[in-house]
Chains A and B, each alone.
Chain A
C-alpha cells in the first residue's frame, strides 16, 4: 500500500525509521539539488539539506496539516534566503517583477526532437547558472521540487497571482536562454 508523505510523516515522528527513510528518499534528492543548483556548493548543499530535515523534525509540532512537501520547501527556501542575507547577497526576492515578454518558443520541432536527454539536462544546468537568483529559485521550486502553482504560492508566501507571474517570468528567461543554446547546438551539429 502506497502511503502519502503526510502519512509517512506521522509514522516517522513516532519513531518509525522506515517511514523516515522513505521521506528522505522522497525529498532528500530534490532538497539537495535545490540547494546545489542555487548555491553551487556541494558541502553547503549537504549541510543545508541536513538542516532542513533537522528543522522539520524539531518543529514537528508546528506542522498541523497541509502539504508536507510545501512545508519542507518553505523551510528550504527560508534557509536559502537566510544564507543569501548572511553572505550579503545583493538581490533577495525583488518585488519588482519584469515585464512578461512574448512567450512563443522560437525553436523548430526537429531541433527539439534532436536534443538528447543528457544534452537537455546539461543545457538546463548551464542556463540555471545564468538566471538571476529569484528566477532560479522559482524555477527550481517548480521543476526540481515539483511544486504546483498553489503550492509555490504557499512556499513563497505570496498570493496565487504573484506566484503565477513569478513562474511565467522565470520561465521566459529560462526559455529564452535555452532556445539560444539550442540554436547554437543546432548550428554546431549542422542540423
Chain B
C-alpha cells in the first residue's frame, strides 16, 4: 500500500479505527511519517467536528420539538375521519381524467334534462261527452290550485264538512221541505261513504271536469248514443269526488232554479290543468334544443374545455402555489409528488389530496417565467 492509497482511505473511510484492522494500511502508516501525520490530522479534524456536532442546541428547542409529536398526533386524530375519502370523493377522484369528466358532465346534463322533460305539465284532456251529458259549459282557464286545495284538505276537515251537511239535512227535515231532505239524503250518504284518500290517489282526476253528485255519460260511438260512463270505464257514484255544499244545493235544486243559480253563483272553478300556452311549449322545446346543441358544441370544443378545466383546477393551483412559495426549482415535465414529499414540502394529507389518478400525473410547463400545472396522461 502506498501513501496515495492511504490518503484516499483516510478521506473516504467513515471510521478511522477501521484502518487498524487493515494490516497493509497499518504497516504503511507505522513506517511512513507523512501518512502518520495525515492520520493524526484526520483524527484531530474528525474529533473537532464531532465536538461541534455534539454542542448542545438551545434548551427551549428540545421542548419545541417534543411538542411537535403531540400536536401532530392530536391533529391527525381529529382529522382522521375527515381525511378518509367517502365514495363520492373517490368517484370524483376517479373522474379527474379529462374524457371521464366530459362523459360525466354530459351524463349529468342528460339526466337532469330528462327529469325536466318528464316533469312538464301535460295537456289536459277534455271529456266532451261528459260535458254534453251534464250540459255544463267548459269554463275558461281552469285553476289547478282549487283541486290541489281539495286534495290538500285534511280528513278532519272533510269530517267537519260532513257533519255540517248532516246538520243541514236535519234542519231541512224539521222545516217545511222534508221532500228536499229525502232527495238530499241518499246523495249525502253516498258522499259521506266516499273515502277521503280515494280521490287523493286519483292523479288523473286533476285533468277531468266532474260535477259532484252527478252521473257522467260517455258517447258510445257504436250505438250513436250516450251511455253511463261507468260502462265506458268512466266515473261512477263511488268514485265521484265529495260534493261541496254549494254544489250539492245546486244538484238538489229544480232545473230552472239550477240554471238561475248557475248564472248567479260565481263560476265554479274547473278542475283540470289548463294547457300551457303554445308559446311556452315552444320556448321550452327551443331551450332544450339549444341545450342539446350546446352539449354537442362542448364535445366539439373539448380541447378548449380541457384548457379551462386545467386553469381552474384548484388542486393544480394549490400545487403551483406550493412550488412558488417554496421556490422549488423543478424541471419542466411530470412532477413527482413523492419526491416533493421526501423533500419535506408535502405533508401526508396534502400528498393524499394532490395524488393524481392512476395513469396520469401533474405536468409542469414553464412559459416565460409562468408556471402552468395540469393533469396529463403518462
Q: Which residues of A contact B (CB under 8 A)?
A: 12, 15, 17, 20-21, 24, 28-30, 32-33, 37, 42, 45-46, 49-50, 52-63, 71, 74-75, 78-79, 82, 85-86, 103-105, 107-109, 112-113, 115, 117, 120-121, 123-125, 143-146, 148-149, 164, 167-168, 171, 175, 178
Contact = CB atoms under 8 A, between A and B. Distances in A.
A53 B47 contact: no
B80 interface: no
A107 B55 CA distance: 28
Counting from the closest, the 5 A-B pairs by CB-CB distance are A62-B341, A55-B344, A58-B347, A143-B49, A75-B344
A82 B326 CA distance: 7
A80 to B, nearest CB: 12
Given A75-B344, A144-B52, A144-B53, A59 B351 contact: yes
Given A78-B343, A82-B327, A120 B11 contact: no
Given A71-B342, A105-B37, A33 B55 contact: yes
Contact of A112 (B41, B49, B351): B41
Interface in B1-57: 7, 11-12, 14, 33-34, 36-38, 40-41, 44-49, 51-57
Nearest to A178: B45
A59 B58 contact: no
Contacts of B326: 82
Given A46-B61, A143-B45, A148-B14, 20 more contacts: A50-B61, A50-B64, A54-B68, A62-B342, A71-B342, A75-B344, A85-B329, A105-B34, A105-B37, A107-B37, A107-B41, A112-B40, A117-B51, A120-B45, A123-B48, A124-B49, A125-B52, A143-B49, A144-B52, A149-B12
B347 A115 contact: no
A109 B36 contact: yes
Contacts of B140: none
A25 to B, nearest CB: 9
B11 A167 contact: yes
A62 B346 contact: yes
A115 B57 CA distance: 26
B346 A20 contact: no
Contacts, number: 147
B118 interface: no
Contacts of A167: 11
Contacts of B62: 24, 28
Nearest to A146: B53
Interface of B: 7, 11-12, 14, 33-34, 36-38, 40-41, 44-49, 51-58, 60-62, 64-66, 68-70, 72-73, 326-329, 338, 341-348, 351
A31 to B, nearest CB: 8
A27 to B, nearest CB: 10
B57 A58 contact: no
User: Dominant SS at the A interface?
Assistant: helix
Most A CB within 10 A of own CB, among B41, B66, B345, B347: B41
Nearest to A61: B348
Contacts of A86: 327
A143 B11 CA distance: 11
Give the interface centre of A21, A54, A63, A85 by most chain B CB atoms within 10 Å. Answer: A54
A124 B48 contact: yes
Contact of A28 (B14, B44, B65, B69): B65
B346 A59 contact: yes
Contacts of B57: 28-29, 32-33, 45-46, 49
B295 to A, nearest CB: 42
B52 A20 contact: no
Contact of B69 (A20, A50, A148): A20
Contacts of A32: 57, 61
Contact of A171 (B11, B52, B345): B11
A10 to B, nearest CB: 13
Given A49-B65, A62-B346, A85-B327, A29 B56 contact: yes
A109 B51 contact: no
A62 B54 CA distance: 28
> Which interface residue of A21, A29, A30, A105 has the most chain B CB atoms within 10 A?
A105
A121 B52 contact: yes
Nearest to A50: B64
B281 to A, nearest CB: 59
29 contacts: A17-B69, A20-B66, A28-B57, A28-B62, A33-B52, A33-B55, A50-B64, A50-B68, A52-B344, A53-B65, A56-B344, A58-B347, A59-B341, A61-B341, A62-B341, A82-B328, A85-B327, A105-B34, A109-B37, A113-B40, A117-B51, A120-B45, A123-B48, A144-B49, A144-B53, A148-B14, A164-B12, A168-B11, A175-B41
